[in-house]
Amino acid sequence: MSLFISLEGGEGSGKSTQAEILCDRLAQQGYRVVRVQEPGTTDLGNHLRSYLKSTNSPLTPEAEVFLFAAARSELVRRIVLPALEQGKVVVADRYADSTTAYQGYGRRVPLRNIRSANDLATAGRWPDITFLLDVPVEIGLNRARVQTSLDDDRDDGQRDKDGSKRAEESDEQRFESAGVGFHKRVRDGYLKLAAREPERWVVLDASMTEDLLAHQVWDRVSRGLEINATELEGMGRLPGF
Ligand code: TYD
């Protein structure tokens, strides 16, 4: 039984942890789950991720739109759509709403251009449920910095010579250079998107504990699965997952 779920939020909102908890729980219950990450998952997506992490020269906002859209086109056509057709549950750690929030609201690329890029990249397939893990910008940025330095400590001693240290430093610089104002625009942008489409979005306060958050995510996902099962039964098809 297919269901498409995405998790969105600013830096340090805990999306990736929640994506992992959700995927484990779905798998335990017998669902076939595919977890994807943006940028990432496909060859092109992984290249884009490494490129963004290692470069020190900022891209123009327009180039970012095209790069994220190109990687998303690959992801949607090669992984997301086939998985949904096979009746799997797809959990996406970021999707097209990230481009609207970051490049549209954050970097001020006109929203009509973002819409066109997203329409083409997604083939019109938007998630059934999108969670916004909303956290005040200062708290999120602090969490993200703590995470970066924890990773730094963990990697000490086994870091290869090819510059992963440099990559982490440039990640840190990315947070700094983007500035708090940028991250506030991203957060406000997300909240506007959620308010505009309340049937798809679920806004959760990401400053609550991991467990509580996971509970609320599961509550909504299990309702989505029930609705899908009922619809399939109504059509005379077995839910068969
Ligand atoms: P990542 O390390 O995955 O950050 P996070 O853990 O917050 O998801 O890096 C993804 C970065 O790319 C993040 O800063 C958001 C940005 N991004 C965009 O600006 N636009 C997009 O369309 C996507 C998918 C990501």
What pLDDT is stored for residue 170 in this prediction? 57
Residue 38 has pLDDT above 90, yes or no: yes
How many angstroms does the Cα of residue 29 sit away from the middle of ligand 1? 30
Q: What Å distances lie between residue 204 and 8, 48, 134, 190, CA to CA?
A: 10, 29, 6, 12
Q: Kindly give the interhelix angle for 164-196 and 137-155, rounded to the nearest 10 degrees.
A: 150
Task: Output the residue whose Cα is nearest ligand 1's atom 5.
Answer: 11
CATH architecture assignment, domain 3-135+185-235: 3-Layer(aba) Sandwich (3.40)
How many angstroms does the Cα of residue 181 sit away from the middle of ligand 1? 17
Does the beta carbon of 185 sit less than 6 angstroms from any atom of ligand 1? no
What pLDDT is stored for residue 1 in this prediction? 81
What pLDDT is stored for residue 240 in this prediction? 44
Work out the average pLDDT over 41-48. Answer: 98
Q: Best of 102, 108, 145, 190 to mutate for ligand 1, by most ligand atoms within 8 A of CB?
A: 102
Does the beta carbon of 11 sit less than 6 angstroms from any atom of ligand 1? yes
What pLDDT is stored for residue 152 in this prediction? 64
pLDDT tens per residue, range 227-239: 888 887 787 665 4
What pLDDT is stored for residue 88 in this prediction? 98
Work out the average pLDDT over 16-45. Answer: 97
The minimum-distance atom of ligand 1 relative to the CA of 102 is 19
Question: Which amino acid belongs to residue 1?
Answer: M
Task: Output the residue whose Cα is nearest ligand 1's atom 14.
Answer: 11
What pLDDT is stored for residue 161 in this prediction? 45
Picking from 8-17, 148-157, 212-221, which range would have the lowest pLDDT averaged per residue? 148-157
| pLDDT band, residue 159 (cuts 50/70/90) | very low
What pLDDT is stored for residue 146 in this prediction? 83
User: d(Cα 229, Cα 237) in Å, to the nearest integer?
Assistant: 9
Task: Parse the chain into domains and list their residue ranges.
Answer: 3-135+185-235
Does the beta carbon of 102 sit less than 6 angstroms from any atom of ligand 1? yes
Task: Output the residue whose Cα is nearest ligand 1's atom 23.
Answer: 98
Q: Using a pLDDT cut of 70, give the percent of the chain over it.
A: 86
Residue 153 has pLDDT above 80, yes or no: no
Task: Output the residue whose Cα is nearest ligand 1's atom 20.
Answer: 99
Work out the average pLDDT over 201-221. Answer: 97
